């Protein structure tokens, strides 16, 4: 993830919480054992803005912590689709509902600086957006099947919730092969107690 410190000792994963301090009773904290940044990440353009974090303990799935599916390479997330991502205050990262925007439109708004590995979500009038502190957070889409798919990863933007300045996200369909290459060999967690809508990547 952009500007990520390479020392995993300075990072921790907080799950099952919307409090940035991790003070909720449902919070589960895990240390980060290893950080694998994308080798093609460009610090000037934020292209290939993705990293894989290996936690030092298994994730305990429960009603507060559930996985999202990785989309297939041909999975389409059309413009206008409602998606959910982080957005809130400096003390809490709350769920924000935004719309996926047309790629050509967003490219024009950002003076043609977007690449095929980027996508935009938000509203042209602003008001709702991810912000500082949300970077690396998920942008998920619920499909008619009831499954949630990871469409994007919070990457960059200009300001927060400003008009004609939507949030820019790393496009997961363009990065999934690299993600899978770096998680192969790890055990798939057992989720027998979870509803069928919460399943590992398919």
**Residue 176 host element (H or E):** helix 176-181
Tokens of 127: 């008001």
Q: Can you give the pTM of this predicted structure?
A: 0.83
Mark whether 112 and 150 lie in a shared domain: yes
193 vs 38, more confident:
38
Mark whether 56 and 121 lie in a shared domain: no
Q: Is residue 77 part of a domain?
A: no
Residue 50's closest CA among 149, 127, 156? 156
For residue 78, what pLDDT is reported? Answer: 94
Taking residues 66-89, what's their average pLDDT? 86
Tokens of 188: 């798939």
Mark whether 90 and 168 lie in a shared domain: yes
Q: Scanning the structure block, which residue is given the tokens 């369909």?
A: 173
Mark whether 44 and 13 lie in a shared domain: yes
Lowest mean pLDDT among 58-72, 91-105, 140-154: 91-105
Number of domains in the chain: 2
Mark whether 91 and 159 lie in a shared domain: yes
Q: What is the pLDDT of residues 132-141, one digit of tens each?
A: 557 888 999 9
Tokens of 111: 């003076």
Q: Is residue 197 part of a domain?
A: no
Q: What CATH number corresponds to the domain at position 38? A: 2.40.10.10
Q: Is the pLDDT at 54 greater than 70, yes or no?
A: yes
**Close Cβ partners of 82 (under 8 Å, ≥ 6 residues apart):** 97, 98, 99, 141
Mark whether 104 and 134 lie in a shared domain: yes
Q: Where are the beta strands (DSSP E) in 60-147?
A: 82-86, 95-100, 118-122, 138-142
Mark whether 50 and 101 lie in a shared domain: no
Alpha-carbon distance of 50 to 179, in angstroms, equals 9
Domain boundaries, position 32 = 8-62+177-181
Alpha-carbon distance of 70 to 78, in angstroms, equals 16
């Amino acid at each position: 993830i952009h500007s990520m410190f390479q020392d995993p000792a300075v990072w921790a994963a907080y799950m099952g919480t919307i409090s940035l301090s991790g003070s909720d009773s449902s919070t589960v904290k895990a240390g980060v054992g290893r950080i694998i940044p994308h080798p093609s990440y460009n610090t000037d353009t934020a292209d290939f803005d993705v990293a894989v974090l290996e936690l030092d303990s298994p994730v305990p799935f429960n009603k507060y912590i559930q996985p999202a599916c990785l989309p297939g390479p041909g999975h389409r997330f059309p413009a206008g689709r409602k998606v959910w991502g982080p957005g809130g205050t400096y003390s809490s990262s709350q769920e924000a509902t935004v719309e996926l925007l047309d790629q050509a439109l967003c490219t024009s708004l950002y003076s043609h600086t977007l690449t095929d590995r980027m996508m935009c979500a938000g509203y042209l009038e602003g008001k709702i957006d991810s912000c500082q502190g949300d970077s690396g957070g998920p942008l998920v889409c619920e499909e008619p099947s009831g499954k949630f798919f990871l469409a994007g990863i919070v990457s960059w933007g200009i300001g927060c919730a400003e008009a004609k300045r939507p949030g820019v996200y790393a496009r997961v369909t363009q990065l999934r092969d690299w993600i899978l290459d770096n998680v192969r060999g790890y055990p798939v967690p057992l989720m027998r107690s979870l509803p069928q809508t919460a399943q590992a990547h398919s």
